[in-house]
Structure formats: C-alpha cells, structure tokens
Amino acid sequence: MRRSAVLGFVLCGALISGLAQAGSAVGHEVPYVAGSKPPIASPGEVWCLISLPPEYKTVTEQICVQPAGCTYEEIPAVMETRKKRVCVKPETKVSVPVPAEYKTVTERVCVKQESCTYETIPAEYGVKMKRVCVKPETKISTPVPAEYKTVTERVCVKPESCTYETIPAEYKEVEKRVCVKPETSTKSKIPAVFKTVEEKVCVKPESCTYETIPAEYGVKMKRVCVKPETKISIPVPAEYKTVTERVCVKQESCTYETIPAEYKEVSKQVCVKPASSTSSTIPAVYKTIEETVCVSPARTEWRQVRCDDKDVLIDKRETKDVCWTMVQIPAKNEVRQKTVCVEPAKTICTPCPAEFKTVTERVCVKPESKRKIPVPAVYEERTKQVCVKPASSTCQVCPAEYKEVEERVCIKPESKRKIPVPAVYEMRTKQVCVSPEKEICTPCPAEYKTVMERVCVKPEGKRRIPIAAVYEERTKQVCVKPASSICSVCPAEYKEVEERVCIKPESKRKIPVPPVYEERTKQVCVKPASSTCQICPAEYKEVEEQVCAKPASKRRIEIPAKFETREKQVLVCGEKKIWRLTKCAPTDIIEPK
C-alpha cells in the first residue's frame, strides 16, 4: 500500500506537468502488434486497445468460362504404286556325293577274352554231443474259491416324487361384433369397339439378282529354266619349297659387375645438453575498496487501468478492449565492498646456454653400384619346308538351259453384275381395336352382427403336491476276498543227442584261362565319303505394289478460351487492433498479482 501511494504521487506530478502537452495528443493511434505495448508512450499516458472491423471492396475480374482447347482434322494417307524385284525361286545348292576310299589291313583280334574257372573243394564234417530239451518247463494252476459275508443296507424302494392338482380355468360372457358377410364387388364387362382400316402391305421385299460375266483369257510366251546353272569343284594341290632360316638358339642377355662403396672420416659438433631456462614466480598484490552498485535500475512498466467509455474516443463500429498506462519506477542503489588486484602475479625466467662437443664419424662419399656387361645372342642356320601356295579348288560353271513355252493367262477375271428387283405391295383390310374390352367393379358393403362369446378370464393351472420317498432294509452277499489260483512249476526234461557239425565249409579254387587271339583282315576307310555343293542361282521377277508415300496424319485446330467479367467482394483490410491515446486519468491502477 505504501508503494502504491508513492507511485500515485509520482504519477499525479507527471500528469499535472504534462497535462497541456497530453491534451493535444488525445486520440492519437498506434498499430497493435501481438503481445506488445505502444512504442511512443510516455509515463502517465493511458492507451486503450481498440478493435477495428474488417473492410471490403467490390472488384471486377475476368473468369475463364471455357478453357482453350483444340480439335484434330484427319489428313488421309497418300498411296503410290512402286515396282520391286521379288525372288520367285531362291538360290539352292545341289550336293554331289564323293565316294569314300578304303584299304585292306590285317590286325590281331582277341577271339576269346582271358577268363578263369573254379574247382570245388568239398566241406569237412564231424560229430559232437548236444543237450536237447525233451519236455519244456510247465506250470499247474490250482483254483482258490472266493470268500463272501452277509451285510444289511438301506435301499430306496420308491424315490421321492410329486403329483399335480388341476385348477380349472375361469370364463365369462362378452359381446363381440362379427362380420357375417364380407365386403364384395360385382364386375360388369364393357365390350371392345373395333373399326375396319386399309393398309399397304409389302408382299415381296425389294431384292436383286446377279448376272455372271465370264473371265477373259489370252496366251503369252514364258521362258522356263529346263536345267539350272551348276558348278563343278576341281581340286588344286598345295605347292611347297625348302627354305633356310637363321634361328636364335640363345637369347641376348647381360651380367652385372659390383663396384664397392667409398667412405671418409669427418668431424662435427654434437649438442650434449640443450639450452634451457629457470623460472621464479612473484605473487599478486590486492586491496579492499567500497563502491555503489545499482541493485534495480530506473525503468518504466505497463500497468492496466480502469477507464470509462465516455473518456475513450471510439466509433460505433469499433470495440474497446483493455486500457494500459506506463508507470515510472526509480532506480535502487547500495554500497558494497570488493577486493581489487593492484599488481598481478608474474614469473621471471633465467636462461641457461646449451653445451656442445666435437665427434668424428665415417661418412659414405660414394654408395655401392653395379655395372651392366651385355652378353650377345647365339644364332644358327636351319632348313624347313614352307607352303608356297595352299591347296585349293576351282569351280567350273555349267550354264543353265532355258526354253520358250506357251502359258494361258487371265486377262480379265470373272465378275458379277448386280440387277435390282423392286418390292411388290398390295392393299389389305384389317380390324383395328378402337376401345379395348374393360370391366367395371361395383362395391357391396360388408354385413356385421353382435354375438356373445365365452372368454377365458383365468387359464387352467396346476398345483404341485410332493410325495416322500420310501426306504426298506435289505440283506445281500458281499465278496470279502475274490477267487484266485495257485501256480506250481513242473521242471523241464533234457537228454544228450549226437549232431553232425561242419568243421571246414565248402570252398572254390580259381584256375586262370589265358586269352585266345587270331589274325583277321578288314577294310579301313582311308578317305571318308564326302560331297561337293553345286549352286543353283535364284530367279527374280518385277512386281508392282501399293506403297504409302505419306502416312495418314492429324492437323491440330486451336479453339480459344472464353472469358466473362464478374464482380466479387474482396477483403481490403482484415480485422485489426490499434492503440489509441485517451484522456482518462491513471488513478485507478490495477496492481499485478
């Protein structure tokens, strides 16, 4: 409350001092930015947030009613007749067989392969004693009868049950309207009405006949190949000659001679101990001083105020939101002590020189190397057979044989001429229905009467009557120990018998049989059968055909777009808010919570 009073006095002083200047600025407007206050406000001024409605204007614009398009005009293809060479009979090859060449040779043939026979060695047998079971071990079962005792127990002779007592239904007489005769209707027929009309009827439809025009033929000469052109292959043997050539027996090479390295003694200075330095630290010097520190700087702060509508200049379309004023808050200072460094800490470095000594070492003046010594190649003269001209064959052409033959040619093909036959009509009379037969229904109302009817007020029911169960005492025999049997074992009987045993099994001894050979003579193919190809040339003739000189295409025709002028409402300025300076006194300030 104390702080509010102080602020009130400060604001009143500011208001009195700037009242003349503020009077001329009342009604001044500043655009509103979301979350901000007026940037040009002074302490003591009251600004109210005003909402302005949106503004519209009518504009005229061009609207495309129909978009631009195009159509296509068909341009037919251009055809022309051209001649071309057609193969009537393709080139063929006739195979001329060349028989194979054979010679007779003698060779040794194995008539009978190497084999072996087996000699059977019979098995050896002996006699040994064996124990045989004459009668196996058996068991004899002795029956032991069961043991019983008499017990008495309570048995339900008749289980618990119940009977039902019938309760008769209750009825009463009621009146009811009953339909004696249902609603009906009577039908009366109205006969159909006819009239006679004449019409033209097609007895025989229009048709046509065809007259055959026979084909026309002529005779022309044609050259026919009796015997086609052939080729005979004549072999030409290869030609050889003897030549002498120089051959490299050993390739050119080289050897390497090693040249040793050269060394000498040199002296140089070597660092025994590198240069260094020693450092000593001098501590910093401090003192305590007092200073005035601003705890809270002077500032201006926005506070909300209550402002009546009569103090705010607003239009009928405008809306008043909230009012704010700027409050001046003075600065706040306090005295504080702090330690200040008068002279900072520093380090002093003392240098120590490096130590050297002279040493002698062996240095390589010229490194080890190798010298290349070439070794020439070794050659010698050699003789060999060289093919001067390879084996080939020449073809001898046998020309084809032709003869002139007469051929019947169709000059004009058979055709048909269409002869139209007109249709035949005649007039006929027929009955036409002017008004069809129909039925008329006459309704007859239903007949009712009142009758008495017996109605069930309460249906027949049943009442349950329980009957108790009946028990009695009965005696029966109970098995205490069931019947069983005792088994007694009869030992088996054995005797000694003689048995023939195989001491050494039967075996076989392999006896090899050597192979049998004989000399035989056979025909050997020295040169296999072959064939030579005889070429028969192809036959051609000139024919005419329709060729597309220029293919069918389409020509594009542009259709322009259609536009209309229309009017519409356009938002010029949307709804906005402004800060407006008012003449309201900032006395009723709302303290922040």
Residue 507: predicted pLDDT: 79
Q: Where are the beta strands (DSSP E) in 367-469?
A: 369-375, 378-389, 392-398, 401-412, 415-421, 424-435, 438-444, 447-458, 461-467
Closest Cα to residue 11, out of 240, 325, 260? 325
Give the model confidence (pLDDT) of 225-236 as tens digits.
778 877 777 888
Question: What angle is formed at CA 51 by the lines to CA 50 and CA 53, rounded to 5 degrees?
Answer: 140
d(CA 458, CA 475): 53
Please say if the pLDDT value at position 508 is more than 60.
yes
Whether residue 43 lies inside any domain: the answer is yes
Residue 5: predicted pLDDT: 41
> First and final CA of the chain: distance in angstroms?
13
Q: How confident is the model at residue 257 (pLDDT cuts 50, 70, 90)?
A: confident
Identify the domain boundary among 377, 399, 421. 421
Identify the domain boundary among 401, 421, 441. 421
Identify the domain boundary among 375, 403, 421. 421
Whether residue 62 lies inside any domain: the answer is no
Residue 134: predicted pLDDT: 75
Give the model confidence (pLDDT) of 126-178 as tens digits.
777 777 777 777 777 777 777 878 878 777 777 777 777 788 878 788 787 77
Give the model confidence (pLDDT) of 378-421 as tens digits.
888 888 887 778 877 777 778 878 888 787 777 777 787 778 88
Q: How confident is the model at residue 63 (pLDDT cuts 50, 70, 90)?
A: confident
Whether residue 562 lies inside any domain: the answer is no
d(CA 385, CA 75): 77
Mean pLDDT of 459-472: 79
Residue 32: predicted pLDDT: 82
Q: Please, what is the average pLDDT of the chain?
A: 78
Q: How confident is the model at residue 312 (pLDDT cuts 50, 70, 90)?
A: low
Q: How confident is the model at residue 13 (pLDDT cuts 50, 70, 90)?
A: very low
CB contact set of 351 (below 8 Å; sequence gap of 6+): 275, 276, 277
Give the model confidence (pLDDT) of 319-378 as tens digits.
777 788 888 888 888 888 888 888 888 888 888 888 888 888 888 888 888 888 888 888
Residue 249: predicted pLDDT: 79
Whether residue 203 lies inside any domain: the answer is no
CB contact set of 549 (below 8 Å; sequence gap of 6+): 78, 79, 80
Q: Helix count (H) and strand count (E) of the chain?
A: 2, 47
Residue 387 DSSP SS3: strand
Whether residue 321 lies inside any domain: the answer is yes
d(CA 32, CA 40): 12
DSSP letter, residue 298 = -
Whether residue 426 lies inside any domain: the answer is no
Q: How confident is the model at residue 586 (pLDDT cuts 50, 70, 90)?
A: low
d(CA 589, CA 586): 6
Give the model confidence (pLDDT) of 73-86 as tens digits.
888 888 888 888 87
Q: Which domain holds residue 36?
A: 1-53+292-331+575-593
Whether residue 472 lies inside any domain: the answer is no
Mean pLDDT of 26-48: 76
Mean pLDDT of 218-228: 78
Whether residue 255 lies inside any domain: the answer is no
How many domains are contained in the chain?
2
Give, in order, the Cα–Cα distances in Å from 531 to each of 94, 231, 299, 390, 527: 9, 13, 123, 21, 12
